[in-house]
Each structure stands twice: as C-alpha cells, then as structure tokens.
Structure 1
Amino acid sequence: MEKDYLSSDVLMDVEFTTQAETKIHYHENFELLYVLNGELSLTVEGEEYQLKQKDLIIVNYNRKHRYIGSDDLFLARFVISYSKVKELLTKDMILFWCNSTLEKNESYDEMRKIIDQILNQQVVTNQKNQIYRMSLYYQLLHVISKNFLLTSENVRYQSEKKNDSRMEEIFQFIRTNYQKSITLQELANHFFLSTAYLSKYIKKKCNVSFTDLVNSVRLTHSMTDLLYTDASIMKIAMDNGFASVAAYNKVFKEAYDMTPSLFRKNAVTTEKKEQHTQDEEELREKLNSYLNENQITDEQGEESHDRNISFILDHQKAYKQTSYYSKLINAGTAIDLTKSDFQEQIIYLKNKLGAEYIRFWDIYDPNLYLDIHATKENLNFSKLDTAIDFLVKNQLKPYIELGFKPIRLLKNTQDALVEIPRNEDFDSPEEMQRFFRELLRHFIKRYGSEEVQKWYFEYWKKEDIAFLDLRYNYSPQTEEVHRNYFSNFDRIAGTMRKILPDIKIGGGGFPVQHYGNKGFRDLLSLWQEYDEKPNFLTITCYPYQLEKESDNYYEKKSTDIFFIKHNLEVVKEALAQSAFPETPIHVSEYSLTLSNRNPVNDHCAKGSYLIQNMISTIGGAELFGHWLGTDIYADLQDSQGFLFGGCGLLTKTGVAKPAFYALEFLHSLYEDIYYKEKHCIVTGNTRGSFRLACHNYRKLNFNYYLTDESKIQLENLSNFFEDNESLSLNIDINGVENGSYIIKSRVVNRAHGSVQEEWSRFDLKELSMNEQDYLHRISTPRLLNTKVKVENNRLQFSIHLKPHEIRYLHVTME
C-alpha cells in the first residue's frame, strides 16, 4: 500500500517497494519515483513512460497514474508535501516537469547525487543524522524547484479538449473546505455550473464520484492526525469533515481494510517492536546492494576551485578534431548579403575565424524579384546572383535555405521584435519541381557544377510555433504536416539530384527540444518511408524546453548548461533506434539565448559559455553555426545604443565581442587533441608545441531563469550569476622534451577584451567616431608571455582564471 500521508511539519519522506503493479490512483502530494533496479512502465493521465535503472520522474499531485514494473523492480518512492512546497514557494499553482526519460539535463545527475546521499542515510540509524537527512530533503527540493518548476507564465499551449485549470480549481476548493460539510450543489454554485454537468465532469476526469473525491482528501488529511497526534477518533473525524465516527470508519475501512483504531494500534505496535518483517529485511538488503554498487562520498558533488590537469604525452593516442565551430556563419537574408556593411563583416569573419560556409535564407523576398510562379523564361535570378557572386568571389561557399523560413527576431521567448512570415507556396508539385530544376540549372550555368556541388542546400521544415501579432503561439504538429514535409523533400531532392547527383541537400532545421527522444525517433522512422534521404541533418539548439503536462504545453528556459551536447545525444540515439542511415549532423543554429535584447550576449559569460559547450560537443556534429554572425541583422528602431544585447559575434560597427574571441581561440587550436576536460582542452603537434583553450564559466542563477530576458539591465548583470569565483588550472604534461618553453597567452575577461565593459565606462548612449575607433582598438585580448623550464620531461605551469575568463595559450620550445 502506497504511503501518501505526511505529518504537517514534514517536507518529504521516502519508502521502498518491489510491488510490480498498482491500480489507477491519485493523491494529494507530489510523488518522485526513482528506479534503483529493473524497469517501470508508468502511465500518467494517459501518457506512458518507460523508466529504466536510475531514471526518475515526478508525478504531480492529483494526476491519475499507475505503473507496472518488471519482476526485478526495486523502486524508491518519495512523497513530497504539496502544502509544504506551496508554503515554501509562496505559489498557488505548482507543477514540476521532471522526467529523465524525455530529456537529458545535468540537473538530473545533480538530483541523483542528492538522492543517493538520502538513500545512504536510510541505512544509518543514528538519530544525530536526522538533521543531515532533513537538509538533504531541502537540497533536493531546491534542485527540483530551480530546474523543473513550471508556472502559469510557462504555458504555451492548452488543449481545448482538456482544461485542467478547472479541475485544479475544484481540487483547490475541496482542499480549502474539506473540514466543512460541502455538497455538490455548493461546488456547482461556486463555479456557476449545474450539478448534473459537474458530477459527470468529475467522474470523467477522476474516475470517482464527487463524494468519493471529497472523502479521499479528508482521508489523506485524517491520516496525519491519526499517526502523529493523540486526538480521539471522534475528534479526528469531526476535524476532517466527516459527518460522524461511523462515516469515518466506513470510508477508512473501504480504503485500508481495517478501522482507524486498529490501524493506529498496529502502527504504534510496529514502532514499539522496532522489528523488521521479512519484506523489510529484503528491501534493506536490496538497498545495501544498490549503495554498494553506487558508492558515494561526503564530498561528492562539491567542486574544487583548483583543478589538476595531468596526462602522459602520447602522440599515438591523440585523436583528430572532427567538429568545426567557426566554418559556418549565420549571416542573414539573401538581401543582407548585398549590403556593404554585411559584406565587410563577413570578410572579417572569414579572415579571423576561418569561415568557409555562409548560411543565408529568404530567397523568396519580394525585393529579389524571384517569382516562384513565373514561367521558365520569366524567372529573374539577377538579385540572388548579386548575393552569391559576393561569396564565390571571396572563396566562400553558400549554405542556402530553400524553405519558406520566416524573418524572425525575438525580444524574449514570448515576444518578437520582428515576425515576417513567408506564406507563399507553390501551386502544385509540378510547379515546385520546375522552380528548383531551373534554380539549380542556373547555378550550374553561372558557377559550374564543380563549384555548386561544394555548397549546402537546406530545406527547412515548418515549425510548430509562430509569433502572431508578435506574440508566441504554439500549435502541435500532426503526422500530416510531417508527411507533407517529407513529400516535398522527395520532390526537391529528387529533382536536384537528377541534375547534379553529388549535390548536398539536407534538412530540416529541427528544434530538438520540441521533439525529445521519442518524438525525434518517430519523426525519423516516418522519414524512412520516403525515397529521398538527406545528405545531412540540420538541428537547432537553444536552451529552452517544451514540456507537456497533461494536455498543457509549457516552454521554459532550461538550466542545462550542456544543452547542445544533450540535444546531440538525443539525435544520435534517435538515429540508431530508428535505423536511419548514418547521416552527418549540422547544428545550423545555436546560442545561449534566442533573445536579441539580452545583455548576456555581450558579456564575457557568453564567451566562456561557448567554449564550455564546444569542449563538451567535440565529435558530436560536423558543423556548428552560431546564431548570429553580426548584430547588424538585429539592428532596429529600439537599438540606438552601441550595444543592445544582440546575438551577433560582432557589434553592428564590427567590434569583436567575447563570443567572437571564444570561436577564434577554438579555431586556433591544433587538430590533434591530447586531453580535454570541463574547463580546458589541450591540442598539439609532433614538433612539441601545444595550444590550449580554457574557460571559467560561472553559472547563471535562479534569478536569471525567472527574469524576462529583455528586461535584464547591464548595470544589474552581476546579480544573475551563482558566484564570482576564480579558478586555477594546474597543468602537468609528462613526456615532453627537456628545455626552455615559451607560453604565449591571449586573455579575455572583464578587464581585457570586453567591449561591454569598455563601453559601460563611457556612460554614453551615442559615441563619436573617435570613441568608436577607440573601442575597436581597446576591445582586444591581453597578451602575456612567460617562460617555463622543463626538467625530468615534465611541463608544469598554472593558469589562474578570473570569473567568466577565456584564455588561449600557445606553448613552444624556445
């Protein structure tokens, strides 16, 4: 029998079970399930989830659910007090989206560490550990609320078929009035509904009658009084809204097969005996076995601010860099590529970052005069040629978006600065094929087939979001929408491959965070039914998570600092599970934020964030395209300032931001990787030289994730980080040649190389040309040179990093 009752002063409690199956039920509190062994099939409000060992999930209060476990199931079940959480968070609507089967997030590992510490305390009988155990409960709630709390502001879509808000209001009314004598008529009057309708509604939603629903709430609350007070059975019955002791006895016996008096007597007797039944002994043995296999220390989870990086140099064990973070630049629209300021900055990005591919979109802009409905003779490619001519003349390769991608700039996740939909479409499949046939023939005629087959052509899939009237609107996509995309891809790819078999065409800009593992696997499985497969898959990665709770959809900022890595893992797992052909992956868009009005984009934290994510994703994808190349793309009426929180690597006047230097440092590394860890990557060559990139990223805090991104002010930015700690990296490379080595460093931190810090010192919104030139000159990394003498074939030195600092080091023998 599941426990769902807690003393009023208790935050949570844990119990263990090997019970393989439960009936459909619900309860007043949150339930955290953690699979210690075996597998669990959990159904919540009709949604089914498959949990394996170390998977965890939170079932929200008053959600109908049941589970079926494997024969070797061993489950830890945490009951978390709804009333206590409500009191601590001071919120009326509290929902958690915590489901490790649907997403990857470092926060789940953080939870597992705390849970394992809690489980470890379960085998310790010393009463002195009670305080520590309680502190762990609060730590666990902190991690849950920090990373998985959903609020009414997160709602993005609410199904018309199921309005959970009304059911939630009904539960709230019952919780508030359960101690009184409440009737269906009273409840119906409160909601201005008929009793007949309300009775059917409750029966449909909860599978119980109104009376049974009220009694279940009363029963749960009475259990606390029964076990944790000396009150008489009569007083407990009266205090919890039962009409009489007889009524209380009847309801209690139906639920627990015994009277309240006998239940209390058995509980007290069991407690006094302090003996364990055979089942309890078996559970304890299973718990000990789990803890022996998952040993923890008191220091687990704590991170030192002094890290040692030590390895033996072995050229044979070095592996090649196969991921490129600056070869692909997201430029803007085709029209943008014809503008001189855009062109100047793209050339700069090519020269400094080694950019090779320039991604652009909106080839259907009316200003290009390219009419998709025109006959072959009347298709006008001249304006588009101007954009592509610029790229080809400068030895840059086009990365062309073929879909009707909207022009979109976001202020925050709910509000757009610009939303220009491209709702045009071809009148028929034949017209579509004719257009792309003539487009490719024109490219080959103008630039040659050898040149064109080096390009990338991407066909974008229509998204499930739009910004109608500049406000976020989410609409779940149907299988029909997916099939329409695959049919169009068949036509486009088939047509173009007949003309140029070696053409590189892919798609479809999938926002992985909107699909999850199962959704993306199903999508790829559906694509298997069609003839034409992509030469490459494109995905977009932004730290936001779309979640479904019942029939409501929520989108919130993700606290996962390794979201790109985890999205790539989801894609690779889906590829393997769907038996999809092995296909190169391009992260065509990624960034720390979607907002083009967030000052974090201009901060040193963006640079350290990028290096951290790039180190973690090496080998995960072929190309990575940072969103965006330049702030010019996001320059509008409200961006009069020199900096305005745009996503670009360069300011609108071409000054490099810390994010730019992060990519430049990564571009400067050698191809052979000798060692990498969370904060540092070491590369080298066979001539005894090394190049390193390192960072000291400090996490954004809870305050950041609860604040509208467009309302973050530069002067308050320091309040949005968890800490301001420095970091020391102690490097020890064994096996190098003895002698004198020179270490040349390039340093970017708040004191050096930060255009945001330099600009803030001016305290001016408008700058003169001389002041702008000054910012160009001063916003560069600091250069440092040091010498190290190597004896006993060990190269040893330390790197001291300030908060958010990034550093590039080139080590050569003198």
Structure 2
Amino acid sequence: MKYTNKIIDMIGDIPIKIFIESIKTSCYYLNPKLSLIFVIKGEVLIKQEDKEYKLTEEDVILINPNIMYSIDSSSTNQIYILEIDCKYFGNLYNNFTDLRFELNSLNINEANIEEYKNIKSVMIKLLEVCINKENGYLLIAKQLIMELIVLLINKFTVDEIESTLSINHDNERVNSIIKFVLTHYKEKISLQDISQYMHLNSQYISRYFSKQMGIPLNAFISNLRLEESIKDLILSDKKITFIALENGFPNLKSYFKAFKEIYGMTPSKYRNIYLNEIRESSLELDFSKFKLEKIPNYENDKLRLLPEKKQSYVIDLNSSVEVFDKSWKRILAFGRAVEGMREELRNQLRLVQKDIGFEYVRFHGILSDEMRVYSEDDQGNSEYNFTYVDELIDFLLEIKLKPFIELGYMPDQLAAEKKYIFAWKANISFPKSMRRWNKFIRSFVKHLIERYGTNEVEKWYFQICDQWNYFNTEDQNYFEFFKETYGSVKQVEAKLRVGGTFDLQLLDKYVCYLKDEKVALDFIAVRTYSLVPNGKSDSLELINRFGKVSDNELILQNSIDYCSYADESFISEQIDKFIDIIDKHKLDIKEFFVTEWNTTPSQKDLLHDTCFKASFFVKNIVDNFNKVNGIAYWSFSDIFEETKASNNIFHGGLGFITNNGIKKPIYYAYQFMNRLGNNILRKESDFIATKNTNNSIQILAFNYCHFIDDRKQCHSKDITLKDRYHVFNEKSKNISFILKGLSGEVVVKMYRINKENGSAYDEWLRIGAPKFMDLDELNYIKNRSIFEYRMKNSDINGDFIINEKLEPHEVMLIEIVPIKHNH
C-alpha cells in the first residue's frame, strides 16, 4: 500500500510530475516516462527486470521509460519521484526519446562522485523551489530541469551499442506483455487477447509470465488496476463504483474483493483513513539535512524575484458597511430563444438554477422566424402563432426563471428589407408597415397576459431591442420605432415594465428625445464589453465599416479583430459614465441594468475558458454590484450560435459551461459568490467580507492579473489553444486577514479556484489537450476539475488571523461558521 502527496503536474509548459510517496507494500510500475527516484528517509527495495537494489537515505536511481519495476518496503519511508516526459525534450534535443541512461547511486565511485552530487543537488533544489513556490519559482524550476537534462545527456547516457547488447530477450517479451496490459487494463482483458497479441499459446503465456515475474498474470492485472484506482481514491472525490468500472473491474463486488485481499479493508475505509490524513497534513521536509555540494546560489541570481509584500486587512465582525445586494444573480443570459427549446440547454439551465438560482433570464430572438410567431397568408394578412413562445416560457417558469423579454428580431415577412446579423440570420430591418408591427406587438403582449395573468406578466421586463440602430445611428427612424414599440406595449397594460438598451456614445441623444417625447421608461439597460478599438476609430465607426453588407455574421464580432482588450477598470468606468449621464439629465429611471457584459462578445476568445475569467468576474462584480439592479454575464452557456461553431471543447466559448456540460472556473466563481452573506463587513480592491444572520463569516478574495501589454490585441495569433496565460502579468499574492470580535469554537472552510483546482481547461492540458474526447475522458475532466475544498475546527481566543497565498487568477472563499453546542 502507498499513499501519495502530489506536489506539481506541470512546471510552466514542461510536462514534469513530482510526487512524495510512502510505500507500505509492493507496488508495480511500468511508466512511459523517465523516472528519477530519490529516497528521502528509510529504505526501499527496487526490482528492475532481473536485478534488485536496496536504496537507503539519499540514494537515487533512474528508471528508463517503459521498463517494468517494483518498489517494496517493510519500514517507514518517504521517497521523491520525478517523472519526465521524454517526448517534450525530443523537440529540444535530437533523438532524446531514443537515449537510454544508467544512474544508480549504489554504483558511485571516485570517478563519478561529483556527477552524482550534482544530480542530487539539482533534484533537491527543484523540490524545494516547487514546494515553496516563491515568486519567480517557475523560471528557476525550468532552469533546474534544463540543467538536470543536460547532466543526464552528458554524464549518464549509456552507449547505444552497449545498451543493445545488454537487452535480455526474456525481459523484452515480459515488457511487451506488460505494455499490452498497461494499454488495455481499463478494458476486459483475457489470456486469449494477450496470446493473440504475442502470437503465443495462452497457457504458455500464463506460465511464462508467472515464472519471470513471480506473480500470476491475472494477479498482476488486478494489482495494476488497484494501483490506478488508489490514485482516484486519494486524488478525487469520484464515487467508488465509478472508480471500479473506470479502472477495468467488471463490477463493484470484484473490486471490493480484490481490494480487501491486498489492503485488508474496503475502498471506503481506505479513503477515510488515508485521504483525510493526506489532505490535512502538510509536507514538511528539512532541506538543510541534505549536505550536498554545488547547490546553485539563487539568492543573487537575476531570476530570483522578491516576494510580494503581504496585504493585511483588519475585519471587525461587529461592523456592517451595507446590505449586500446580489444584483449579479438577478439576470441569467443565453444566446437566443430557439436554443431554449433544446434539451441540452434546458439541462444546463436546470443545473444552474439548482446550483446558483437566478430570478430572470434574457435572450435574443423571441420574435424571430425560428420561433414561427409571424407569417402572412396568400392575401397578405398577418397570422400569429405563439406555440413555441408558450412552450419556452412554460419551461422557464417551471424552473423558477421569469422572462426578461427582448422584443426582437424582425420576422422576414414583416421586414422592409433583408438585413441580417448573426450566422442564424437575425433580421434587423425596420418593419414594412409600422401599423402591422404595432398590432403584432399588442397581440403578443395580450396573449401573454391572457395565458399567464396580469399579476404575473407585470413582474416581467420588456426590453426594446436596440440592434436596429446599428445601421441607423443618426436616423430619426429608430427613435420613432422605439416610441411606437414602447407605446404598443403600454397600450395593452400601462403597468408593464418597458425599457430599452442604449449605447453610451448616443445616450445623450436618446435621453433628450425621451424627455421631449415624454416617454417615461421603467428601466434602462446597457451592455459593456472590456474592449476598445485600435487606432483612432471608435466603436460606431467599426460597426458601420462592417455593417453595410449582410454577410450572415455578427457585425460586432467582425469588428473585434480590430480591437484590443481594455484596461482593468474599463467595465466600472463605463457603468459610472452611464450613471453620470442619467443623473446629469435628471432622468426618472426606476431601475438600471447591465444586460450584457464580458471581456468580449466573441465565442472564439480563447481567454473565456481560463482561470483568468474567474478573477475577472469576481473583481468586476465586487466593484459594481451596488451600482445596478441587475448585471447579466453574457452568456451562461457555450451552446451559442451567433457565428460558426467549433469542434474544440475549449474553443473560447462565451459561457461558463461548455457545450457538453463541463463547468469552467467562472461557474465555480458564481457558486462562491452565492455563498456570501447578506451584510458587508468590509470591501476592498481584492476581497469582500460578509456576515450572515447565523453569525457565519465569508471572505471572498481574488488575485486578478491583467495583461502584460497595455493594449493586447483581441484574437491575437499568439494566444493559442495550448498557450493562453503568457499574455498576463502573473504574480502570486500574500494576503492576511485579522478578524476581531470572534471567539469560541468554529469550523473554517476554505474553497479555491486556480489552475490546479476548478479549471477544466488546465486539466485538459494536463491530459495532453486531446482534440476529441470520449465519454470516459469527459467524465474524468468533469470529476478532476472541481474546486479545492478543505475544512478544520479551531478554538478562537483573541484575534483570529488567516494568512494565505493566492496564485495568479486564483479565487478563494473562506467561510467561518460558529459551532453551537447543545446544553
């Protein structure tokens, strides 16, 4: 039996794995990677092919790729395993994957003692750097890895002829069997399968393997499956049935039987005993005890960066700044109405409502041709059909979402011309007859009231779509169209809430028109994206440049290629400018909404999938939640078809859920926000602290890292599927909270979203970034990309101090819940 404390999977873009393990019973390995094993304490017995090596403290051995070996121990031990993916270095050094190395400290002599000291020095320094993770550690770690590789190539390479002569035919055959098992252990493997692969008799295969390895082949396969299952038990919260089937066992019963035979307990008990022990224990290594020479002096190295100063904040639990208005969960948004008829999107809506719970939902195109609402007969008379509308709204109300109805787009038979945006051909023409349009709107609103009742529909919002003004920024026709549409809704029921979306650059004109015409809006809606045009062109010029020809593509998304990401305060500044203009004109507006916001409205912006978006979301919500009545992130799902769809799962879709239901970091950020209390204790630029009526405390902290360049080009070619973080000025952050006014026993819960936890995209990178994933791989990603969660009990007497380190883009939630004892 072994247990593992995995330290790191990747060092930058270098595929390196570092493990600290304790071995209790014999474990078998066949790894496609090069492995360096360093004994930290105790002793272990390593069997490699037909040889045995007893390693003690400070011994190191190298295992070449695809070589079968086992590790056994009967004493307390701790080993450090460094796994190196040779394929990566094959791109840097010709034929690196064909090299074979010989490194075993049991063979140290006077001629090679310095070489072994250098190898061990570099390994220890690499481990120390990766554990401490001080600023700049990735740069130092990369340098150490390269130094290690150069040492292996120059000092420990086995001559190719010597390596060929030393090949043992029996070992080669055994390794072929093991490679087959390693490749297919998750499947149902029979002796017949192996014998066909090896072109040998099945009974011979069984006897041969048992003789060479000292273990029956069936037992070896079972042990391998158990070994792989242990990783899932320790490193994930998957259900045990799922772990059993995923690792090749035909059913749960056979898994339990094999597990108890080897480990003497059930998988559940193993997980409870050892997993809790691992998660709660911290890795403490005394690096000073390793008296090795030639450890590089990085204290004066230019790569050594000074650590960030710790930010310290005092939080008085008896204070309350303001009520926390959770405007960010008022409105959910998705692409268009017809997508709401798809079961895939409906399942995602159900999930979001269960996990977060929104009040309203907004989408495009409820009046578009896809919803079959408007047609004309042979004589040109208008005909209405609200069947699809009813089906959609019935579903939304069933899952407790009220509609935030955008009145658009123009049905083709009612349109004056064919003028399209989006790949799905949303018509933004004015109507050929305003009289017919007004009658259509009145009929639509009357139908809603007749079906759902006035009391219900009065709670909804009716937003007049603004897409018509894309081509008519100076056209008085849009103002008239807006006024007529507004009047048609109010004519049916004056109490209905009607508003419009306005562009910041034209807001002054809109406001003056509304005042002159005595149009009393119930709300104003705006949209804002964190991008700015390149050069001197403003956004309206860009829209006009691409808006004169109908090419079935989203105009704004065409113009994004000519834009850059804005500075980190852009969203807040835009919202403030809207509010200032409304205040300047003394416009009597009951409610103010941001109905669309994001970095960009592009569904091919590769940054959408990354951890960056979690900290971007939390930062902007914390900055602006109290300025608006609702702020809707655009949009919640990657099921979104304004432009051509992509086959890649992590293609930069807008949503916080992928097409196939994988949750992105921003999804978990929503869940963290949802756990915040109702009263704000303190709010700063990098955290918000709240309190609930049960006296529980919540602190949501984040480490937002902006772009290295002041103006980073959108859709830049240097942001690729596999390389998306290099554009950010990434720095870790040390933060400290001093809580005053808390005493007694509490439970401290800690949740984290970062590249290691809660990021499906980063997990996808770790498994090799496959273009297509089967069901097992999708389920693996879903299970592995959950946020980190830890908890502990504390007895507080005096100030309670929390010291934490936030990785770049990390979002962290701390919950402190008092324990009430029954007397």
TM-score, normalized by length of structure 2? 0.55
User: Matches of residues 227-238 of structure 1 in structure 2 within 5 Å?
Assistant: none
* Paired amino acid for 1:528: K
C-alpha separation in 2, matches of 1:604 and 1:428: 49
Question: How far, CA to CA, are the matches of 2:381 and 2:443 in structure 1?
Answer: 7
Distance (Å, rounded) in 1 between the aligned partners of 2:436 and 2:667: 42
- State the partner residue of 1:668: 675
Tell me the equivalent position of 1:732.
Answer: 738
Asked if the contact 2:369–2:411 (Cα under 8 Å) also holds between the matched residues in 1, the reply is no
Name the residue aligned to 1:537.
524
State the partner residue of 2:321. 318
Alignment of 1:547-558 (within 5 A): 549=536, 556-558=563-565
Whole-angstrom CA distance in 2 between matches of 1:405 and 1:593: 25
Q: How many residues align?
A: 483
Query: Residues 590 and 627 of structure 1 are in contact (CA less than 8 Å); yes or no, is this contact kept in structure 2?
Result: yes
- Aligned residue number for residue 755 of structure 2: 750
Note if contact 1:403-1:458 (Cα within 8 Å) is conserved in structure 2. Answer: no
Checking the alignment, whether the CA contact within 8 Å between 1:327 and 1:353 is kept in structure 2 is no
Aligned-residue offset at 1:305? 4.0
Alignment partner of 1:502 is 2:491: no
One-letter amino acid of the structure 2 residue matched with residue 343 of structure 1:
R
- Judge which range, 368-377 or 659-668, deviates more: 368-377
CA contact (8 A) 1:689 1:810 kept: yes
CA contact (8 A) 1:657 1:755 kept: yes
Q: Is the deviation greater in 360-369 or in 665-674? A: 360-369
CA distance in 2: counterparts of 1:805 and 1:632, whole angstroms: 26
Q: 1:698 to 1:538 in 2, by over 3 A?
A: same
Query: Equivalent residue for 1:566?
Result: 573
Q: Give the aligned partner of residue 467 of structure 2.
A: 462
Partner of 2:403: 398
**Equivalent residue, structure 2, for 1:577:** 584
| One-letter amino acid matched to 1:668 | R
CA distance in 2, matches of 1:303, 1:594: 36
Deviations 1:511-544 (A, max 9, x none): 43xx1xxx43343123211232221111111012
Q: Relative to 1, partners in 2 of residues 1:389 and 1:707: Cα closer, same or farther, differing over 3 Å?
A: closer
Alpha-carbon distance in structure 2 between the residues aligned to 1:712 and 1:520:
35
- The equivalent position to 2:446 in structure 1, one of 427, 441, 448, is 441
What's the counterpart of residue 286 of structure 1? Answer: none
Name which structure has the greater RCO, CA cutoff 8 Å, separation 6+. 1
In the alignment, the residues of structure 2 paired with residue 433 and residue 484 of structure 1 have an alpha-carbon distance, to the nearest angstrom, of 15
Query: In 1, are the aligned partners of 2:533 and 2:563 still within 8 Å (CA)?
Result: yes
Matched, 1:527 2:514: yes
Q: Following the alignment from structure 2 to structure 1, what is the Cα–Cα distance between the partners of residues 469 and 435? A: 26
Query: Is contact 1:748-1:805 (8 Å) kept?
Result: yes
CA distance in 2 between partners of 1:459 and 1:707 (Å): 30
Contact 2:313 2:737 in 1 (8 A): yes
Distance in 2 (alpha carbons) for counterparts of 1:810 and 1:423: 48
Aligned to 2:776: 770
In the alignment, the residues of structure 2 paired with residue 350 and residue 593 of structure 1 have an alpha-carbon distance, to the nearest angstrom, of 25
Match of 1:371 in 2: 374
Q: CA deviation at 1:813?
A: 1.5
Evaluate the alpha carbon distance shift between residue 806 and residue 634 of structure 1 in structure 2; reply closer, same or farther with a 3 A threshold. farther
3-state secondary structure, aligned to 1:758 = helix
Rounded to whole Å, the distance in 1 between the matches of 2:375 and 2:390 is 16
Q: For 1:716 and 1:563, locate their aligned partners in 2 and report how far apart those are by CA, in whole Å.
A: 25
Q: Would the alpha carbon gap of residues 421 and 687 (structure 1) be closer, same or farther in structure 2, given more than 3 Å must change? A: closer
Deviation at residue 339 of structure 1 after TM alignment: 0.8
User: 1:454–1:659: structure 2 CA closer, same or farther, 3 Å change rule?
Assistant: same
Query: Within 2, Cα distance between the matches of 1:801 and 1:550?
Result: 39
For 2:508, what is the secondary structure of its paired residue? helix
Q: C-alpha distance in 2, partners of 1:730/1:406?
A: 57
The structural deviation recorded for 1:547 is 8.5
- SS of 1:525's equivalent in the other structure is helix
Q: 1:477 aligns to what?
A: 473
CA distance in structure 1 between the partners assigned to 2:410 and 2:613 by the alignment: 27
Shift in alpha-carbon separation, 1:640–1:709, aligned structure 2, 3 A: same
Shift of 1:449: 1.4
> Is the 1:325–1:667 contact (alpha carbons within 8 Å) kept by the matching residues of 2?
no
Residue 331 of structure 2 corresponds to residue 328 of structure 1:
yes
In 2, distance between residues paired with 1:745 and 1:403? 45
Alignment equivalent of 2:389, drawn from 384, 391, 410: 384
User: Structure 2 CA distance, aligned partners of 1:430 and 1:405?
Assistant: 14
Which residue of structure 1 aligns with residue 707 of structure 2? 700
Matched, 1:358 2:361: yes
In 2 relative to 1, CA 760–627 (structure 1 residues): closer, same or farther, beyond 3 Å? same
> Once the 2 structures are TM-superposed, how far is the Cα of residue 564 of structure 1 from its aligned partner?
1.8
1:464–1:304: structure 2 CA closer, same or farther, 3 Å change rule?
Answer: farther
Is this contact kept in 2: 1:329–1:358, CA < 8 A? yes
- Summarize the alignment of residues 608-627 of structure 1 with structure 2, pairs less than 5 Å apart: 608-627=615-634
Q: Which residue number in structure 2 is paired with residue 680 of structure 1?
A: 687
Q: 1:546·1:553 contact (CA, 8 Å) conserved in 2? A: no
2:313 is paired with a residue whose SS is strand
**Matched ranges for 1:213-362 at <5 A:** 305-315=309-319, 317-362=320-365
CA offset digits 1:30-67 (Å, max 9, x no partner):
xxxxxxxxxxxxxxxxxxxxxxxxxxxxxxxxxxxxxx
- Secondary structure of 1:631's counterpart equals coil
The letter for the 1-side match of 2:516 is E
Are 2:494 and 1:489 equivalent residues in the alignment?
Answer: no
Q: Does 1:780 align with 2:816?
A: no
**Aligned-residue offset at 1:489:** 3.0
For 2:639, the equivalent position in structure 1 comes to 632
Q: Deviations over 1:270-310 (max 9, x none)?
A: xxxxxxxxxxxxxxxxxxxxxxxxxxxxxxxx995421111
The amino acid across from 1:443 in the alignment is L
Match for residue 642 of structure 1? 649
Give secondary structure in 1 for the equivalent of 2:724: helix
The aligned amino acid for 1:725 is K
Distance apart, 1:312 and its partner CA: 2.5
Aligned-residue offset at 1:703: 8.1
Distance 2:462 2:394 in 1: 17
In the TM superposition, residue 548 of structure 1 has moved relative to its aligned partner by 8.8
Any stretches of 5+ residues in structure 1 without a counterpart? 1-301, 408-415, 466-474
> CA shift at 1:438, angstroms?
0.8
Distance 2:537 2:728 in 1: 33
Q: CA RMSD in A?
A: 2.8
SS in 1 for 2:631: strand
Cα offset, 1:783, TM superposition: 0.6
Q: Give the whole-Å Cα distance in 1 for the aligned partners of 2:643 and 2:516.
A: 44
Quickly say closer, same or farther: Cα 1:660–1:788, change in 2 above 3 A.
Answer: same
1:678: how far off? 0.9
Contact 1:703 1:720 in 2 (8 A): no
2:804 equivalent in structure 1: 799
Label 1:405 to 1:434 Cα distance change in 2 as closer, same or farther (>3 A): closer
Note the 1:65-144 alignment, pairs <5 A.
Answer: none
What letter matches 2:783 in structure 1? R
